[in-house]
Structure 1
Amino acid sequence: MSDEITVVKCGGGLTDAHEEICRDLAGRPAGRTVLVHGGAAEVDRLAERLGVPQRRLTTPSGSSSRYTDPATLELLLMTLVGKVKPALVAALARYGARPVGLTGMDAALVRAERSAAHRAVLDGRTVVVRDDHSGRIRETDAALLLTLLEAGCLPVVSPPALGADGPVNVDADRLAAALAGALARTRPVRLVLLTSAPGVLRDPADAGSLIRSIDLSDDPVTEAAVGGGMTAKLQAARKALDAGTGTVVIADGRVAAPVSAALGGAGTTVRSIATLRSL
């Protein structure tokens, strides 16, 4: 469709591929693309240089997330807003795009609820965590994105989201899914999740075990069957599809013209039953 919007999420492990990703995005029609990025690898590198310990929290349900204590929140802001985003904006501009750097806090684009005091496993011990500045997305307003797209710009969005008492770290895959779902209220949308793998693999150790298509509503291959970091991407895909996104593609961000390749059939296409019935 001529007015279809593509939301692209660039994983934190794709720093070396940013130049090619930006070249590909800049060549796409103006006003039709939103780029969402994380920066986990860069945060880890800066934390190591500065001697700030990085730890993971595991909830009783088994989900894992970065422990965003005050020091880590500061590192996150320094890295995403001060390093990763400016590099992406500069690369996109070099190739002729009109990028605009944003976080979820700008114009209350994404609101999130910070995790209250809760029990979690930290360093092998069950503790009550009170200073974690991460949370869940509760509300997304796509008005600013639509205004920028109509002006021919390419929004470049990252965490954090806006919380009641300041920045809240949110998962970048879920951020991309939330933005795709919000945009899908008024426009047709597809979501491309670029990662450091060919797509969803039946065997993570075998690049040849690519699953070409998954219907999360019906396919026996579920989030639990895949495991690892891909589980979070499939969970984000489900969120996006449930919110009205037409198609989600999980594809390799390390190849030439990765977004074009993903939209041309590379990687794993994720659909819902409702989408399949409308084709």
Structure 2
Amino acid sequence: MSAAALVVVKCGGNPAVDADAICADVADLVRAGRSVLLVHGGSGAIADLADRLGVPHRTLVAPDGVTSRYTDPATMEVVTLALAGGVKPRLVAGLSRLGVPAVGLTGLDGGMLRARRKSAVRAVVNGRTTLVRDNLSGRLGRVRTALPQTLLCRGFVPVVSPPAIDEHDQPVNVDADRVAAALAAALGASQLVLLTGASGVLADPADEGSLLRTYEVPATGAPGRFAGGGMALKLVAAREALTGGVGSVRIADGRVSEPVRRALNGAGTVVRLSDMIPSLKGA
């Protein structure tokens, strides 16, 4: 596999994201000689399954505005079932129907994604910052590339999702956008495309016409004043990919036809590193 030819695509978990269109684009890229690794989340599928099983779901909001899923043991089971047993088989089957050999993996397989469990997570509750200590989430550390690299070299599309495996060899929840960033950096990908349920980074989340063509994310600290909710975590992931050596990171619309090709051709928001506070540059 040529590192320069590798593109990592993140299929967002928003129910509006068109997974079939993403698979069609991935298939076209593979037929054109590109190596593709597909990472997926599944927030909609996780919420649906949790509701069906009667498992409460809760979102943690960090002081910098970044949101994450609170993961107790029951939620950890739901996450694993929804991703590995629901979303992933549909993506693998979709690629297979298009003539593309794909292999479904979680971060547990081959110890691919190693993480350190967070002993406590800072979250804002009722206006006060508190420490949440019973959360089965982890901070990604080492990425073992042998398994995905072997598959890519043999012409397969790895389809990867959380969970990861912690220092005690137990599954922990990790963010799928950051999984995509970590794999892109470790595998030397030239491009990372994060597809989501918005047209890109918006100056006003309620206005699709406020798309920022360029977003300069600070090299450290909070991801900036136009980053809120789930978008903040995508910008953190974009920063991690860029600092890890990925050549290009773009956040783009996963709800449209040809979403990957549109992103690679300039749609959405290109993310760059900056020591400055992000501005409306390029809007």
TM-score strictly above 0.5: yes
Query: Residue 277 of structure 2 corresponds to which residue in structure 1?
Result: none
Cα distance, 1:52 vs structure 2: 0.8
Per the alignment, residue 279 of structure 2 pairs with none
5 Å-filtered alignment, 1:158-197, equals 158-165=161-168, 166-184=170-188, 188-197=189-198
Output the TM-score relative to the length of structure 2.
0.87
Residue 48 of structure 1 aligns to a residue in which SS? helix
Q: Distance in 2 between matches of 1:121 and 1:215?
A: 26
| The one of 1, 18, 36 aligned to 1:33 | 36
Separation in 1, partners of 2:17, 2:47: 16
- Residue 270 of structure 2 corresponds to residue 265 of structure 1: no
Residue aligning to 1:138: 141
| Aligned pairs (5 A) from 1:38-187 | 38-59=41-62, 62-117=65-120, 120-121=123-124, 129-165=132-168, 166-184=170-188
3-state SS of 2:235 partner: helix
Unaligned 5+ runs, structure 2: 275-283
Residue 197 of structure 1 aligns to a residue in which SS? coil
Task: Output one character per residue of 1:239-262: Cα deviation in whole Å (capped at 9) or x when no partner.
Answer: 100000000011101111110110
Matches of 2:50 and 2:184 in 1, distance apart? 31
Give the residue type in structure 2 aligned to 1:156: V
Residue 277 of structure 1 corresponds to none
Conserved in 2, the CA contact under 8 Å of 1:7 and 1:35?
Answer: yes
Q: Distance in 2 between matches of 1:171 and 1:94?
A: 28
- Residue 125 of structure 1: how far off its partner (Å): 7.8
Partner in structure 1 of residue 244 of structure 2: 243
Distance 1:89 1:129, change over 3 A: same
Which whole-Å CA distance do the structure 2 matches of 1:14 and 1:3 have between them? 32
What is the CA–CA distance in structure 2 between the aligned matches of 1:47 and 1:2, rounded to whole Å? 39
Q: Residue 122 of structure 1: CA displacement?
A: 5.5
User: Structure 1 residues 189, 135: closer, same or farther in 2, change over 3 A?
Assistant: same
SS of 1:223 mapped into structure 2: coil
Distance across 2 between alignment mates of 1:87 and 1:137: 26
Summarize deviations over 1:86-111 as a string: whole Å, max 9, x none: 01100010011111100111111110
Q: How big is the shift at 1:264? A: 0.8
The answer as to whether partners of 1:11 and 1:37 remain within 8 angstroms in 2 is yes
CA distance 1:250–1:191, change in 2 (3 Å): same
Displacement of 1:193 in angstroms is: 0.2
Q: Is the 8 A contact 1:201 1:207 kept in 2?
A: yes
Task: Flag the 1:57–1:174 CA change in 2: closer, same or farther, 3 A.
Answer: same
**Aligned equivalents of 2:55 and 2:15: distance in 1?**
23
Residue 205 of structure 1 deviates from its aligned partner by: 1.6
| 2-structure distance, mates of 1:59, 1:267 | 26
Asked if residue 6 in structure 1 is aligned to residue 7 in structure 2, the reply is yes
Q: CA deviation at 1:15?
A: 5.9
Distance 1:60 1:226 in 2: 13
CA distance in 1, matches of 2:62, 2:227: 20
- Give the AA of the match of 2:25: D
Any idea what SS the aligned residue of 2:240 has? Answer: helix
Where structure 1 has 5 or more consecutive residues not aligned to the other structure, the ranges are 274-279
Task: Give the whole-Å Cα distance in 2 for the aligned partners of 1:229 and 1:57.
Answer: 11
Following superposition, the deviation at residue 213 of structure 1 comes to 2.0
Residue 123 of structure 1, CA deviation: 7.5
Contact persistence 1:14–1:253 (CA under 8 A): no
Q: Pick closer, same or farther for the CA change 1:122–1:82 going to 2, 3 Å.
A: farther
